[in-house]
Structure 1
Amino acid sequence: MSKCYSRYHTNVKLCYSLGIEKQIFPKEFLQEIPKTTSQYWKKKNNLEYYGSQYEEIAQCTTEELKLIADNRAKQMRKTFVSFLKVYFMIIELIDENKFKQIIKSNYRQLVPLIENLISVTQSKNLILKFLKISPFQFGQWQKMRRYECKESLIWVCYKRESRQISWTEIITMKRLLKDNKFLHWSSGSVWGKAVKDGKISMSIQSWYHYAKLLGLGQNRKKFYKKRKRISVRAEKPNEIWHMDVTRFKTSDGNWAYIYTLMDNFSRRILSWNVNHTLSGKISLKSAIVEQFGNKNMETDNIDLIVDGGTENNNINIHEFIKNCKVGIYKKVALKDVSFSNSMIEGNNRILKQTYLKDKTLNFEELENYLDHAIDEYNNIKPHYFHKIYTPTEIYNQPELKNTKLYFEKLNKERIVHNKNYSCGKVCP
């Protein structure tokens, strides 16, 4: 049986003979060619070769090589080659991403120089490609430089870029993020409260962006050990509950045990209590009485997710659930179900690291303080997961969960405000 040989296009051979094949052809194509074959490219003179689909690219390169090799371009060739050597060395030394960052950080000084170079060479796309700048990005930089205004956080004139957040909103943002009442809130919760109260009109992404520009976001960052996210989500209130306990050392040196019971859907703390000893029954009983009273709810089943500790798995808890008028099915995390109890564990971390950190309280003071803290968490502070709404609002009105935020009215007011803003300069 005869062996089938591939035939290659002349341009493929030429590029190999010039030593530029790696710059022209895809790696996958080059790997298909036997190493010994490249030694005999010039001996073949057939009209049809394998690889003819790359003829246009290779022919273009050939024409360019002819121009570069012309003696009349000797000095220009030396200059261009020297430029390329320096250019590629810079890219290799400082890394391409760092190179892009340097260009980005110094765009104000570089834009006029780049504009002048483009004007001289009449090769905008080539120049921008060399500098690793997209045409869109360069257009934005030109706009920002042309309408530069130091009054704006993004350095662009309010009149010319009227959709940016207004100076009034910047002042409001600074005041809210520096307000002592909200220093223990997350930045996202402050945003939700501000939007809800009609004080600002921007998406949470814009809020984070401007907070970073203002230098107001870093001190709120809390670095937690990365944990596996919970894999269960309820579709309505009172479908899944989570119960957990954490402890706090009081001023007399004793441990106080803080029990919390949370609704999965709304993130609302349904019940809580502080005890000198471990007793989950009290918290569970309080939640049932508060949410359902004495109604018979056996047909409405609730999955109760707990950890594997004895405080949640004992005869008292089992007997209470068995005799309870509400249908409760207790499930141990990572044992009876595949997911963890991280939702309420995360909430307890927030409680300890945000509210109780560095606090010196006796048992009675701890109870009073928790009453205030949990009321704020449930009823005042918007939960980041619910955008501008509190856990209690979502618990009582589940339909708010799918509410989309519209800023159209406030955005129109912002545009009008920005167009009427005066920084003392005469805009072109």
Structure 2
Amino acid sequence: MNALALAIPQPENVQRRPKKTYATGVIRAFRNGNLPAHISRSIPGSTRSDWRRRDLSNIVGFVEPEFTDGFSNPLLHWHNRMAQRSEAALKIMIRFYQQVVLSVRGSKRIWREQKHRIVGLIERIAPIIGLDTACELLNLTQQRFYRWKNERPCNNDVFGRCGRAHPGRLTPAEQAVVKEYVTDEATKNWPLSNRFSKMMRDGAAFMNLQTFYRYARAFGPIFEQFKKPKHGVGVRASRPFEILHIDVTILRLRNGSRVFIQFIVDNFSRAILGWKAESFYYSGFTAENLRSVCEKFGLLRLPGNSKVLLV
């Protein structure tokens, strides 16, 4: 192999292409992303690829402050810029959700009734985080986004739906009938089901009950759902014999007389500690019943720091 290699004639006057060299600052500027685009395009791709993988910690002749110009941590600066842009987009989305939730009743109808506002929101945040990310955050495909964007609302329908695209919608005359029955002052306190039955009996319009509900909620006022108030926490004992309750029940007999039955109940265990019945009520009746309970359970011999509360 060596003899064959020596026998090959060498070309005369071969001029080798000079190897390009670059200043260390150019390499550092390229790594930091500060190199202008026209200069970066003039550098061969293989050289730029080598710069991305090269370890610059051992390069001699490079002084950090001469080339960074205060850009000491480019990666941190890039993350800060992205965080600021993401924060701006999140603030817009938070304000959007607040307005929608406060103005619309029922979360299931948000995407249908607020689609024009959703399109406006995506158009605002798409330049910041991109259209793909904006649609993904709102669980919306780009195809539906462009379809909603190009839609034109119909003035003859309360929901803005076109009659050709939705032939099963109510006609303007039927919608006027629903609005009349919903906003009638004579039946303003009636349930929606009763108003629907009255409309059907009168023969004013005929439709499904769910369809009537949908249009009635669009025309009529929003009724607040009644919530039963919670009862406050009453007297609670933390141990037996701490609080005793006295309850008196009056039993009326057939002969017209009355019997007073008195119970003494422990608040903690709800156990009946004693009871007494008399044909008439007097103060000594309660004292005798209480004395018998205290003697039976030894409540008169409690420690000095213990007290019995009678309610």
Shorter-normalised TM range:
0.3 to 0.5
